Amino acid sequence: MADITLTGDVRTEFGKGAARRMRVANLIPATIYAGGEEPSFLQLPAKETTLALRHTNALFELEFGNETKTAVVKDVQRNPVKRTVEHVDFYEVKAGEKIVVNVPVFAEGTPKGAAVAFVDIQEMSIKADVANLPERIVVSVEGLMDGDKVLVKDVVLPEGTELAMDDLEEPVVTVSVPEGDGEEAAEGADAAAEAPAAE
């Protein structure tokens, strides 16, 4: 069921001093939350965890002590300067459970003419089974023209998912000609029309 397995140890030390010692030992502190239950505290290998976090909405199998828990990433705390991972919060999930996650939006395709696609909503909230969490939502802009918009209600969601957003009229992607491009194209056309014909 899980996409990624990480093996760590139970965390028994807390505070800034303990966190520094873990970083020196190439470990990352983590917490697993479960609705209504006491959280679990663990430490994970830094390299493997950092690489695994590149996968959006991945399902993790976390092994620590005598326990194994399936979870998704809830929050990642990073060093503001180095951007290294300093702490990870997970949320435990069960097979068959549906959860709401934020999924990155990507525009795909080529609009007509000089128009360019601008992504207005970087992430969309959707509800999906924990075994079917998408990494991205792709919005096609192929053939769209200056002024066209793709609204929330127009987006084709990945199979097995449902929308978890209230404003269905909000633009997700807007297609427009960047300021200056239209004027330059018009000026170029005028100049070509005014130029004397070659003899």
pLDDT at 127 exceeding the cut of 60: yes
Give the class (CATH, top level) of 99-184: mainly beta
Cα separations (Å) of 154 from 27, 159, 176?
44, 15, 18
Q: How confident is the model at residue 7 (pLDDT cuts 50, 70, 90)?
A: very high
pLDDT at 198 exceeding the cut of 50: no
The count of other CB atoms within 10 Å of the CB of residue 132 is: 13
Instruction: Pinpoint the alpha helices (H) of the chain.
Output: 16-24, 46-52, 181-194
Domain covering 4-93: architecture: Beta Barrel (2.40)
Asked whether the beta carbons of 92 and 67 are under 8 A apart, the reply is: no
The pLDDT score that the predictor gives to residue 3 is 83
Over the range 38-64, which residues count as b (16 or more CB within 10 Å of their CB) and which as e? Answer: eebebbbbbebbbebbeeebebbebbb
Could you read off the pLDDT of 30-79 as tens digits, one per residue? Answer: 999 987 788 999 999 999 999 999 998 999 999 998 999 999 999 999 98
Encoded tokens for 126: 């959707």
Could you read off the pLDDT of 135-186 as tens digits, one per residue? Answer: 999 999 999 999 999 999 999 998 889 999 999 999 999 999 988 755 554 4
Q: How confident is the model at residue 131 (pLDDT cuts 50, 70, 90)?
A: confident
- If you search the block for the tokens 């180095």, which residue do you land on? 82
Three-class secondary structure of residue 182 per DSSP: helix
pLDDT at 189 exceeding the cut of 60: no
Three-class secondary structure of residue 19 per DSSP: helix
pLDDT at 190 exceeding the cut of 90: no
Question: How many DSSP H helices and E strands does the chain contain?
Answer: 3, 13
Q: HSE of 190 in the Cβ direction (CA atoms, 13 Å)? A: 6
Domain ranges within the chain, ordered by starting residue = 4-93, 99-184
What letter does residue 2 receive in the DSSP assignment? -
The pLDDT score that the predictor gives to residue 19 is 82
The pLDDT score that the predictor gives to residue 140 is 95
